[in-house]
Amino acid sequence: MTTKAEQDILLDHNYDGIQEYDNPLPGWWSGLFVGSIVFSILYLLYHHTGVEGRSIYDEYDREAAEVFEKRFAELGELTPDKQTILKYMEDPKWLAVGASIFKANCVSCHGDGGLGNVGPNLTDDAWINVQSVEDIAKVITNGAAGGAMPAWKNRLSHPNQIVLTAAYVASLRGKGGGGKAPQGRTIPPWK
């Protein structure tokens, strides 16, 4: 049996003997729901309208550039010579920086781990445009093969990135196994 007050809030719905109360949502909950919709529209308009510098990717790029500048401050300006490249080829901390630059920019052509894709395999002893280890930095800087390998001197934000990427590419030699068939001439070891 239901009382008169309960009957006032009961709805006319009756499904298999089960009746439904008219129990509206609390005002604070409805306010949060409407507020989240308004916030999502404002967020969408602010961050996803294509305005330069507002996306999370632009924010990440700014922060990554700041981190690189702070880390590169302890290095100074690196020169892309044989000694420098061989030195950083053996330094795991800086080799990881070169690896991250390689993964961000070079994997699409040279494949994961440098095993070759459109570009040549970087893990074997046969090289197309390289005779010595410092030639790697020259190819990264100026490009090669009539633009098939683009010049990265204007695309990378700091000259040290070229040296550290060259050190990483040099460290890939001999770490392959499989991948694209060798291209170019076999060259002597780096050291």
Residue 81 maps to which CATH number? 1.10.760.10
Structural domains in the chain (count)? 2
Return d(Cα 3, Cα 25) in angstroms, integer: 23
Please, which pLDDT band fits residue 57 given cuts at 50, 70 and 90? confident
Residue 31 sits in the same domain as residue 105: no
Residue 34 sits in the same domain as residue 88: no
Residue 157 sits in the same domain as residue 115: yes
Residue 27 sits in the same domain as residue 121: no
Mean pLDDT value of segment 14-27? 80
> Do residues 120 and 187 make contact, with C-beta atoms less than 8 angstroms apart?
no
In a domain, residue 54? The reply is no
Residue 152 sits in the same domain as residue 84: yes
Mean pLDDT value of segment 43-51? 86
CA 149 → CA 1, 143, 169, distances in Å?
Answer: 84, 5, 14
Q: At residue 160, what are phi and psi to the nearest 5 degrees?
A: -65, -25
In this prediction, residue 133 carries a pLDDT of: 94
Range of the domain at 36: 4-47
Q: Which amino acid is at 147?
A: G
CB-count exposure of residue 143 (10 Å: 0-12, 13-18, 19+): middle
In this prediction, residue 14 carries a pLDDT of: 76
Residue 90 sits in the same domain as residue 174: yes
Residue 103 sits in the same domain as residue 43: no
Residue 107 sits in the same domain as residue 40: no
Helix (H) or strand (E) run with residue 186 in it: strand 185-186
Rg (CA), the chain: 30
Residue 125 sits in the same domain as residue 36: no
Residue 26 sits in the same domain as residue 100: no
pLDDT tens by residue, 83-117? 999 999 999 989 998 998 899 899 999 988 889 88
pLDDT at 132 over 80: yes
Residue 26 sits in the same domain as residue 93: no
Mean pLDDT value of segment 137-149? 90
Lowest mean pLDDT among 4-13, 50-59, 75-84: 4-13
CA 83 → CA 99, 101, 139, distances in Å?
Answer: 19, 21, 17
How much is the pTM? 0.68
To 10 degrees, what angle do helices 159-172 and 82-89 make?
60
pLDDT at 40 over 60: yes
